[in-house]
């Protein structure tokens, strides 16, 4: 959702901002948001704290700026999944979409769903519970059985682990993707349609 078409050749606005996002995200994922000081981010970039404050007026806004790319993606995945008519097809499209998002954005997603600081931040700034309601309403659909919401949240939370935690990390992205999709299909009991 960041400005995509910016006439080629022009130095992109916020080249420094992109580096800031990258550095901050890496440290957030490694040490947690609360465990990452603006000083540490500045040191890692070889600049001073004040340089960071040029881009964002507070740490909270920096965190939201780093996570921002996810929100549009999450909505897009929901849109694509909700377009299917049968529940299994919706669930499968959702699983495949989420796995794709996570494989490409493991750190960002792990910070979003796993960091306590972010959880509190979301409660006041962004509406993440609305996203969950959309899942229940539009993907699982009317009359959900008792276990599917639980299975979904177990999967959504658990799927970040293999990519960040030590033991299983380090697999090539295609294997990760295939294994995670299989996990999602198992826990949601989706019989694979002819793809």
Partner DNA sequence: GTCTATAGAAGGATAGAC
Partner DNA sequence: GTCTATCCTTCTATAGAC
Query: Is residue 121 close enough to count as binding DNA by CB under 7 A?
Result: no
Residue 175 token pair: 């294997």
Closest CA to 29 of 115, 125, 135: 115
Nearer to DNA, 20 or 91 (CB): 20
Residues 6+ apart with CB under 8 A from 62: 20, 24, 38, 52, 55, 56
Residue 171 token pair: 């697999």
18, interface contact from a copy of itself, DNA, none, CB < 5-8 Å by kind: none
Residue 106 token pair: 């493991």
* Helix/strand/coil for 48: coil
23, interface contact from a copy of itself, DNA, none, CB < 5-8 Å by kind: none
Look-up: residue for tokens 């377009």?
83
- Write the CA distances from 31 to 63, 83, 115, 155, 188, integer angstroms: 14, 39, 10, 23, 32
Query: Is residue 191 close enough to count as binding a copy of itself by CB under 8 A?
Result: no
- Minimum separation from the CB atom of position 116 to a copy of itself (A): 3
Residues of this chain, 12-51, that bind DNA according to CB under 7 A: 13-17, 36-40, 42, 46-51
- Minimum separation from the CB atom of position 15 to a copy of itself (A): 29
168, interface contact from DNA, a copy of itself, none, CB < 5-8 Å by kind: a copy of itself
Q: Give the range of 14-22, 74-82, 88-96, 149-157 binding a copy of itself by CB under 8 A.
A: 149-157
Among 1, 6, 30, 54, binds DNA (CB under 7 A): 54
Distance of CA 100 to the CA centre of its chain: 10
DSSP 8-state class, residue 166 = T
Distance of CA 70 to the CA centre of its chain: 5
Check if the beta carbon of residue 110 is closer than 8 Å to that of residue 29.
yes
Positions in the binding site for DNA (CB under 7 A): 13-17, 36-40, 42, 46-51, 53-55, 57-60
Q: Using CB under 8 A as the criterion, which residues of the chain lie in contact with a copy of itself when the complex forms?
A: 30-32, 34-35, 114-117, 120, 129, 132, 136, 146-147, 149-151, 153-162, 165-168, 175-176, 179-180, 182-183, 186-187, 189
């Amino acid at each position: 959702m960041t400005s995509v078409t910016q006439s080629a050749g022009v130095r992109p606005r916020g080249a420094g901002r992109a580096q800031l996002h990258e550095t901050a995200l890496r440290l957030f994922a490694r040490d947690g948001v609360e465990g990452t000081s603006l000083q540490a981010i500045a040191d890692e970039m070889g600049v001073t704290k004040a340089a960071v404050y040029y881009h964002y007026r507070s740490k909270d806004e920096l965190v939201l700026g780093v996570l921002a790319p996810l929100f549009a993606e999450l909505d897009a995945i929901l849109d694509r999944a909700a377009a299917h008519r049968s529940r299994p097809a919706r669930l499968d499209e959702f699983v495949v979409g989420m796995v794709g998002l996570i494989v490409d954005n493991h750190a960002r997603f792990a910070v979003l769903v796993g960091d306590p600081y972010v959880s509190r931040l979301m409660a006041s700034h962004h509406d993440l519970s609305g996203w969950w309601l959309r899942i229940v309403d539009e993907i699982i659909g009317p009359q959900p059985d008792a276990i599917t919401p639980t299975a979904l949240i177990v999967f959504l939370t658990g799927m970040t682990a293999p990519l960040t935690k030590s033991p299983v990390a380090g697999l090539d992205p295609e294997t990760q993707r295939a294994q995670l999709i299989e996990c999602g299909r198992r826990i949601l009991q989706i019989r694979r349609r002819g793809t």
